[in-house]
Structure 1
Amino acid sequence: MYIIYNFLVLCVCCLFVLPYFLYRCICEAGFTTRMRQSLGGLRDEEIASVAQKDCIWIHGASVGEIVATSPLVKEIRKAYPDSPILVSAVTVGGYNMAKQIIQEADAIIYFPLDMPFVSESFVKRIQPRIFMPVETELWPNFLRAIRERNIPVMMVNGRISEKSVKTYRYLYGIWDDMLNTVSRFCMQSSIDADYISHLGADPKKIYVTGNTKFDQTYAEVTPEDLENYKKELGIENAYPVIVAGSTHPTEEKVLFDVFNEIIKSYPEARLVIAPRKPGRADEISKLAKQYHWESGFRSKLLEIKGARSKYPVLLIDTIGELGRIYSVGDVVFVGGSLIKHGGHNVLEPAAHAKPILVGPNMQNFKDSYALLSKVGACKMINNSAELTKEVLDIVGNDERRLQMGAASLQVIKENRGAAVRSIEYLQDLLTLTTVDSKVEASYPTNIRNLHDEGGGRLRHGDAVIQYLYQLAHGPNTPFFGWILLGILRMFSYVYEFGVCCKLDFYKSGLLKQKKLDCCVISIGNITVGGTGKTPTAQKVAVIIKNMGYRVVILNRGYRSHWDQEMGVVSDGKKIFMTAYEAGDEAYLMAKTLPGVPVIIGKNRALTGQFAVDKMNAEVIIMDDGYQHWHLYRDLDVVLVDTFNMFGNGCLLPRGTLREPLSHLDRAGLFLLTKTDQSSQFSRQELRDTLDKYNGDAPIIESIHHPKNFVEIADWYKGIHENAKDLSELQGKKVMVFSAIGNPSSFEQTLACIGIDIIEAIRYPDHHDYGMLEMQYISERAISKEVVAMVTTGKDAVKIPTEFIYFNREMPLYILNMDIKITEGREVFEKTILNAIQKETNE
């Protein structure tokens, strides 16, 4: 569905939007800024105050939404005085209005066009803490980019029109994705709440908070301000002053017909028209001439220093003033209601205690209208005759006029507080999305490339992978990069088709699975790298060994240099291979798991049969085996990294998913890893996702638990007596380097311990270190004046022996870690035991 949507968006942009933008750039001064920003051309200085700073991003489309945004921003600033606030708008009017009335914002920008590469670029560069769309500003590609980065979304001042209810249904699966992305729906009324629920939103996420437009204060006018407005418009002694706000074509003709009748009874009457689009002022002036009325333009009257001419018709051709201009009226008509548009905001004139008249089409503001009409503050008319009658009656009856105005103001006062209520839900959401153990560590990352100093041994394939990763996840992506990523997305669909076909072949029996005479437990994941498969396989092996079963680990031997179909890394007593021959993961398991044989080979059926025949294996742990369907397994343990979850949601090669999320249905047990580096909210969202695809598998939580530091020379010899307590490096400056799937998680762990990371050097996953690189790292550490270098056990097995035992000036510590189950340990062990006993018939 996204393909169809994006194709249509691209066609609309090329055929209509871009020509329209170019036309407005030529005819309208300053429009180039909107065009540049909307197409993704944000300058660094325009977002410097908010980018990568956990800003709160609030978005309103046009003037009306920005008015609703104003009180929210004020409350956010009170609640979070140190958090940067970003405000975005779609229209020029909304942008200019934000500049005028939202002084608390740290940055104001134009919202991106909803094209994939443009939306992704905005989100990658800004990385907000939360995104808050006002009313129904939901855009598929933008929300998809938000969702891929696990950024919470909270709709504020939510409003759903009847027209929207019908339109959104045509989005099908895209609409479901958008709704699932939103974490909180703060709706204006119970009617809007019912609509959004009817459209598929989770009722548990829906709250009625009221309309924040009741809380707006930007349009407040002092007595002095009111006198100045009257002087500037030349209406000091005029009566009555009829203000018509947000008018549309054809409505002005009705107003002139009415004014013709009013002027007969009130020669000093004035008609003030503020068209919805200020650019229509000239068009309305020409229409006024047909009625023999001379028009005064607000913009030109502002330039006059002395007394102004007494124009019978005044046209407001400026932006952002209507809310205050309503104050000069004796009676107000709100446009967009005599035509089938759905009306406009009636709360702005109500805040000035004005009697209000509207046409019969108020669907878009039905709740506000209902409140005002119920107390007699707002009257609906159907045609010019009724409008004339009501205007004459109101201006001729002081008591009625004052009663309607007082009722308007009372409604405003009684319904204030929506902004405060919305911020309470925001605070709750941000509390849930806060990572308790997170340390806001700031340190430079040094990503080594093929031709960089200290990168000479980097494989070309690694360099390509690293480059593509930077394109997909880095803050800046060149235009040709988006083209490349688009091509990769097409390959993702091809890859997904192949994966699904292969799995279907196994399910249908066209491809046969090998069944071994023992229990097989797979430890795997649905993403590429970084979930903690190796330490989890070690943990499970120890648990099973302590249960009294003979366990053997099968590893594929990734990046090994063993040229045979199968190789015995360890028989549980002796290690037969080097890390270079076996690969880093297999060698690390062999070294740290005495008593547990480790075998490598891509054909797990072959290595598994060998383990049964030659090593009497009762239980086989298939490391990284979720996608190895050739070998039948009794239990699939699927790991999910709560720090990174499912990457950007795309399959290889565009993303990091190995299979579609729907394939999680094969799992027998889910193990959430690094839960201390994720928030309660994100874990619950993850649990909901897992439950959606597999409601039967237990969900267990775990953390990567740091134990101590060991100098690499002692670590290699298995000497742990000299291990350093974690506290010994607290507050000390260190150099960190790694070549693992998720280096930021490792660095986060060190930061939480209290280590001062001066620099983090990152190589691609499974990278083999040479003396050139180690010399580079060592010299850089000395130049940074750190007290030590720190790396992982997985990296330690790939460091050259000559460097380990070299007379080094600086210690190199290995951080010893294990998997610690924090929730569901009994269920975890029981599920494993049940799988073993079921197979062994115990």
Structure 2
Amino acid sequence: MAHKRKSEQLETYLLSVIDGSAEGKWPSVLRVIMAIFSWLFTLIVQTRIQLYKHRIIRGNTLGCQVISVGNLTVGGTGKTPVVEVFARNLQQQGRKVAILSRGYKSKEASFKDKMIQRITTGRIETPPRVVSDGKRLLLDSWTAGDEPYMLATNLPEVAVVVDKDRVKAGKYAIRELGCDTLILDDGFQYLKVGHRLDIALVDSTNPFGYGHLLPRGLLREPMRNIKRAGFIFITKCKEDGAPELKEQLRRLNPVAEISECRHAAKYLKDVFGDTTYPLEKLKGLKVAAVSAIAVPESFESALEAFGAEIVYVRRFADHHRFSQQEIINTINWSAKRGAQAILTTEKDAVRFPFVERRDIPIHYMRVEIEMLSGEEEFMDWIMRICFKTPRDD
């Protein structure tokens, strides 16, 4: 636990150095060092892309539709709801869909299990973890990872398969689950599998990752590489969209379809039950906001927009796995501040351990993608992927 806290503190500090909020001599020195490594990282990234582009390194062809959904920055672009709406639309148009996820911070096979496999089979090659086979939910969030588990819960007729090697996961989904369409979750940089289509997400609140590649900024590759995308989602937009950003992206990619969208809250749901509540419940309600996401400000702003009075805020590092004691401590502190409910995100809710206490209700906010522009183009894309035309309907 102490090691995890130190790791999260270091992550928070480095982010403050990157965004410039950490001031003084040493943060300035660290930014210079980061810039040097950023230049080296850029060289490595661009070399790798060219090796795949010129087929010096060959990607794998899996013999079915492969679509990647990803982004050029690290951190929260709101990717999971986009993957969800994309997979649901493909499934509703008759495709047998599997989402292939790396399963960030999911539980790996134990050393003991690996050694047993080595002794019995002569090699260590674990099969992919099937979170859902498109019929049943098979794993918990601890084993699957929070985002794959959330996708599997919300998409009961879509398979979700987790493995760092998504070539292996894709072959398994085709062979064992009968899938004919694969979605690479966070797959924009995953070049080992050939993509028919690339969908790139751009966060309107921080589109260019502070203008630098890792570690000086948050970019995984230069922003100009968005030219690989066939469809661009600008996420977290305000009601009037993001016209200036859209124009900037159009200059970088003249041919891609561009959709502006926002993450719209739909309802509240009990973290430990099935009861749902309308968003109107938040009006005038004193709440504690608890989250472990990349951009907690957006969640907290949404609560206030619906009339909630935030009396206590507790933020953890992105993907933090909550302990039972942390939840109990949160309940205690929330009660002392006069909170009438504890609110968290859906992504965080799947990582909440069960607690018996019910003196303060704990809800999460269900959020879905709402397109502000480009919806017709998006549906045309879906139809083309499914080899349909409007007349087929």
Match of 1:497 in 2: 43
Residue 262 of structure 2 is aligned to residue 703 of structure 1: yes
Return the alpha-carbon distance in structure 2 between the equivalents of residues 533 and 460 of structure 1.
Answer: 27
3-state SS of the aligned residue for 2:334? helix
1:469 to 15, 28, 49: 15
2:308 pairs with one of 755, 771, 776: 755
Q: Give 2:90's aligned residue.
A: 544
Distance 1:793 1:470 in 2: 26
State the distance in 2 between where 1:457 and 1:808 align: 30
TM-fit CA distance, 1:600 = 0.3
How far off its partner does 1:479 sit?
1.1
Q: Which residue of 1 aligns with 2:278?
A: 725
Distance 1:837 1:459, change over 3 A: farther
Amino acid at match of 1:748: S
For the residues of structure 1 that align with 2:5 and 2:148, how far apart are their CA atoms?
21
**Alignment counterpart, residue 778 of structure 1, candidates 331, 334, 346:** 331
Structure 1 runs not aligned, ≥5 long: 1-454
Q: Which residue of the partner structure matches residue 211 of structure 1?
A: none
Q: 1:489: Cα distance to partner?
A: 1.1
Q: Take 1:594 and 1:699, find their aligned partners in 2: how far apart are those partners?
A: 29
- Structure 1 position 610 matched with structure 2 position 172: yes
For the 8 Å contact 1:736–1:791, the answer to whether it is kept is yes
The offset of 1:835, in angstroms, is 3.2
Q: Given the alignment, which residue of 533, 539, 546 partners 2:79? A: 533
User: Is 1:457–1:769's contact at 8 Å kept on the other side of the alignment?
Assistant: no
CA 1:540–1:496 in structure 2 vs 1: closer, same or farther (change >3 Å)? Answer: same
Aligned partners of 1:456 and 1:773 also within 8 Å = no
Aligned equivalents of 1:812 and 1:820: distance in 2? 25
* Moved >2 Å (runs of 4+): 455-463, 471-476, 562-565, 835-838
Contact 1:790 1:813 survives alignment (8 Å): yes
1:201-600 aligned at under 5 Å gives the runs: 456=2, 458-473=4-19, 475-563=21-109, 564=126, 566-600=128-162
CA contact (8 A) 2:234 2:260 kept: yes
Separation of aligned partners in 1, 2:127 and 2:27: 39
CA distance in 1, matches of 2:254, 2:43: 25
The answer to whether the 8 A contact 1:652-1:658 is kept is yes
- For residue 372 of structure 2, what is the aligned residue in structure 1? 822
Shift of 1:476: 4.2
Greater gyration radius? 1
Q: AA paired with 2:243?
A: Q
Q: 2-side partners of 1:522 and 1:459: how far apart?
A: 33
- Alpha-carbon distance in structure 2 between the residues aligned to 1:604 and 1:571: 16
**Offset, 1:475:** 3.5
Taking the aligned partners of 1:494 and 1:565, their CA distance within structure 2 comes to: 35
In structure 2, C-alpha distance between the alignment counterparts of 1:538 and 1:749, rounded to whole Å: 21
CA 1:629–1:484: 2 relative to 1, 3 Å: same
What corresponds to 1:104 in structure 2?
none
Q: Please tell me the residue identity of whatever aligns with 1:593.
A: L
Do 1:569 and 1:575's aligned partners in 2 also have CA atoms closer than 8 Å?
Answer: yes
After superposition, residues 9-20 of structure 1 pair within 5 angstroms as none
Task: Supply the distance in 1 between the matched residues of 2:263 and 2:303 (Cα, whole angstroms).
Answer: 11
The TM-score, its normalising length taken from structure 2, stands at 0.91
CA-CA distance at 1:596 after TM superposition: 0.9
What is aligned with 1:642? 204
Deviation sequence 1:136-191 (CA, Å, 0-9, x none): xxxxxxxxxxxxxxxxxxxxxxxxxxxxxxxxxxxxxxxxxxxxxxxxxxxxxxxx
Cα offsets for 1:731-755 (capped at 9, x unmatched): 2111101111211111222222221
Which of 777, 788, 794 aligns to 2:341? It is 788
Of 342, 361, 378, 1:811 maps to 361
Distance 2:308 2:214 in 1: 35
How many Å separate the matches in 1 of 2:321 and 2:265?
Answer: 24
Residue in 2 that maps onto 1:651: 213
In the aligned structure 2, how far is the partner of 1:463 from the partner of 1:583?
22
Maintained 8 Å contact 1:634/1:835: no
| Partner deviation per Cα, 1:297-318 (whole Å, 9 max, x = no partner) | xxxxxxxxxxxxxxxxxxxxxx
Offset at residue 703 of structure 1 (A): 1.0
Letter in 1 for 2:327: M
How far apart in 1 are the matches of 2:216 and 2:127?
31
Match of 1:324 in 2: none
The CA deviation at 1:463 is 2.5
How many pairs align?
373
SS in 1 for 2:183: strand
TM-superposition CA deviations, 1:544-583 (whole Å, max 9, x none): 1111111111111110113245211111222222211111
- In 2, Cα distance between the equivalents of 1:816 and 1:557? 21
Q: Do structure 1's residue 837 and structure 2's residue 383 form an aligned pair?
A: no
SS in 2 for 1:740: coil
Task: Identify the structure with the greater helix proportion.
Answer: 1
Amino acid at match of 1:625: G
Alignment map for 1:77-88 (pairs within 5 Å)? none
1:833 shift after superposition: 2.4
2:204 and 2:234 in contact (8 A); partners too? yes
Q: Map Cα deviations across residues 382-431 of structure 1 (whole Å, 9 max, x no partner).
A: xxxxxxxxxxxxxxxxxxxxxxxxxxxxxxxxxxxxxxxxxxxxxxxxxx
Unaligned segments of structure 2, at least 5 residues: 110-125
Q: Would you say the 8 A contact 1:457–1:768 is kept in 2?
A: no
- Residue 459 of structure 1, CA deviation: 4.8
Secondary structure of the residue that 2:74 maps to in structure 1? Answer: coil
Q: 1:672, CA displacement in angstroms?
A: 1.0
SS in 1 for 2:327: helix
**Which residue is 1:311 aligned to?**
none
Q: What is the CA-CA distance between 1:483 and the residue it aligns to?
A: 0.3
1:199-223 per-position Cα deviation (integer Å, ceiling 9, x unaligned): xxxxxxxxxxxxxxxxxxxxxxxxx
Amino acid at match of 1:770: S
Task: For 1:523 and 1:754, locate their aligned partners in 2 and report how far apart those are by CA, in whole Å.
Answer: 34
Secondary structure, counterpart of 1:823 in structure 2: coil
| Per-residue CA distance 1:52-86 (angstroms, 9 max, x = gap) | xxxxxxxxxxxxxxxxxxxxxxxxxxxxxxxxxxx
Match of 2:185 in 1: 623
Tell me what 2:118 maps to.
none
- Return closer, same or farther for 1:728/1:638 CA change in 2, 3 Å cut-off: same
Computed over aligned residues only, the root mean square deviation of the Cα atoms, in angstroms, reads 1.7
